[in-house]
Amino acid sequence: MSDQYSPETEERLRKESAEIIGRYPQSRSAIMPILHLIQSEDGFVSPRGIALTADILGLTRAEVSAVATFYSQYRRHPNGEYNVGVCTNALCAVMGGDIIWETLTKHLGIGSDETTPDGKITLEALECNAGCDYAPVVMVNWEYFDNQTPESAVALVDDLRAGKAVHPTRGADVVHTFKETERVLAGFEDGHVDEGPSAGAASLAGVRLARENDWHAPVPLADTPQAEATDGGESK
């Protein structure tokens, strides 16, 4: 990778960064989506991306690097085409997440934050995928694969490496590449936002039960007539 972008690429990135900056009252507030934009181009927060971001926002490279090294979604070395995150937090772990993790590390021959030699898969041990009702959960480029088993997880990564279209349990119809996903995180829509269900039956069970039983949240004490009378008496 060159130390600098081509004139055409830099012009495009500057134009798109200006569009991002226009969404915020202060330009430096755009640093996080611009870093996602850099990752959509380079596959990680590259040194040239840090330099360009600093120049665009009028910051030092150290200030940009401080943000890039703080958040785990920013990569400091090239990421694979597909980021496979296995939840190893408590619920997923006891439901089989630990076994899935051990199986994939052996199958792929890599550990956490490492990439297969073909550049296809970066494996990551995640603390929580926020999908406990479907444990154990695996995410590929932030798309959900629910109720996984060691066998289904191996089939998943094999299909990704083979270039097959892979369909998440929820969300977009197919998994898109890391760079394509990063462009969405930068704030540029890809037209897939309304595809597939965003929540399944397990996630909506509480809402269904509440409606069937006519359950409602309790009225806050401060909103009751008695509370108002009491407050009024105390204030006099």
Q: Which two tokens stand for residue 52?
A: 């360009």
**Do residues 140 and 166 touch, judged by C-beta distance below 8 A?**
yes
Q: What is the pLDDT of residue 236?
A: 42
Q: What is the pLDDT of residue 97?
A: 95
Q: What is the identity of the amino acid at 49?
A: G
Helices (H), the chain: 7-21, 31-42, 47-57, 61-68, 90-92, 98-108, 150-161, 178-185, 205-212, 225-235
The CA–CA distances, whole Å, from 224 to 1, 127, 205, 233, 234 equal 65, 42, 30, 14, 16
- CA–CA distance, 149 with 100 (Å, rounded to integer): 7
Strand 114-115 relative to strand 121-126, pairing: antiparallel
pLDDT one digit per residue (tens) for the chain, 236 residues? 888 999 999 999 999 999 999 999 999 999 999 999 999 999 999 999 999 999 999 999 999 999 999 999 999 999 999 999 999 999 999 999 999 999 999 999 999 999 999 999 999 999 988 889 999 999 999 999 999 999 999 999 999 999 999 999 988 899 999 999 999 999 999 888 888 777 778 888 889 999 999 999 898 887 556 555 555 544 44
Q: What is the pLDDT of residue 213?
A: 95
Contacts for 144 with CB less than 8 Å, ≥ 6 apart: 129, 131, 134, 137, 168, 169, 170, 171
| DSSP designation for 115 | E
SS3 126: strand
Residues facing residue 143 across a β-bridge: 140
Helix, strand, coil % (nearest 5) of the chain?
50, 10, 45
**Do residues 101 and 125 touch, judged by C-beta distance below 8 A?**
yes
φ/ψ of 189, rounded to 5, equals: -65, 145
Q: Which two tokens stand for residue 229?
A: 């009378």
Domains of the chain: 7-68 (1.10.10), 81-177+197-236 (3.40.30.10)
Enter the pTM of the model: 0.84
Maximum Cα–Cα distance across the chain: 76
- CA–CA distance, 200 with 186 (Å, rounded to integer): 27
Q: Give the sign of the dihedral formed by CA 65, CA 70, CA 75, CA 77.
A: positive
**Do residues 174 and 165 touch, judged by C-beta distance below 8 A?**
yes
Strand 82-87 relative to strand 121-126, pairing: parallel
SS3 191: coil
